[in-house]
Structure 1
Amino acid sequence: MSDPFTPDAVAAIKRHMNDDHADDSLIIVRALGGRPAATSAVTSDVDAEAIEFTVDGGERVRVPWGERLTERAQVRGAVVRLYREACDRLGLTARGEH
């Protein structure tokens, strides 16, 4: 099995998260990354264990997936789970499928 988190895969995931889901990233960081006062979150890395964000232009915060991912295709579902859990913790209504 090839590594699902090749540099190209990580770059594509980061680009998608930062271009299309920046608000979702901030919700995840506030609720699950322990940074409730964060004002910005940029996806800075992804691996089998976690997604990493650069928060407010400096600090890096890792949010674990909750399970080890073995395929790139699992990232979407894992991000959706984190987003929904974060919305639940913050008392927000989660949008439909991403």
Structure 2
Amino acid sequence: MPHTFDDAALAGVLGHMNDDHAADNVLIARAFGPADTTDATMTGFDGDGGDWIAVRADGSSAPVRVGWPGGPITERRDVRREIVALYDAACAVLGIEPRPHD
């Protein structure tokens, strides 16, 4: 059974991703879900991976579940590392140069 993060961790990460990294959500959903994704929202995560809802070009939506590249995690601080790794992997899949990370 995957690690479950507390409500504060979920709210913090989801708020940050959906408010500050909306374009990254789209890249991740497009790379690992429907190729015609035009919008995406991160809806959750656990120790095994992250969840997004992808909005397709025709307006329909599809769930996208992506496992963490580094394997299962149990610490909130590891979520950022894994999302950054997903972003980099999504850029590689889509042939996009990733931006530098701080």
TM-score using structure 2 length: 0.85
Give the conservation status (yes or no) of the 8 Å contact 1:29–1:61: yes
Task: Tell me the distance in 2 between the aligned counterparts of 1:4 and 1:48.
Answer: 6
The residue number in structure 2 matching 1:50 is 49
CA contact (8 A) 1:43 1:51 kept: yes
Aligned runs of 1:7-86 on 2, under 5 Å? Answer: 7-32=7-32, 34-56=33-55, 58-66=61-69, 67-86=71-90
- RMSD of aligned residue pairs (Cα, Å): 1.6
Count of residue correspondences: 95
Letter in 2 for 1:16: H
Q: Which runs of 5+ in 2 are unaligned?
A: none
Please list the CA deviations of residues 32-59 of structure 1 after superposition, one character each: whole Å capped at 9, or x if unmatched. Answer: 2x21101111010011111101111742
Question: Equivalent pairs: percent with the same residue?
Answer: 37
Residues 58-88 of structure 1 deviation map (CA, whole Å, 9 limit, x = unaligned): 4221111131011000011101101001101
The DSSP-based 3-state class of the residue aligned with 1:70 is: coil
In the alignment, structure 1 residue 96 sits paired with structure 2 residue 100: yes
Shift in Å, 1:4: 6.6
The one-letter amino acid of 2:8's match is: D
Q: List, as ranges, runs of 4+ consecutive aligned residues in structure 1 with deviation greater than 3 Å.
A: none
Unaligned runs of 5+ in 1: none
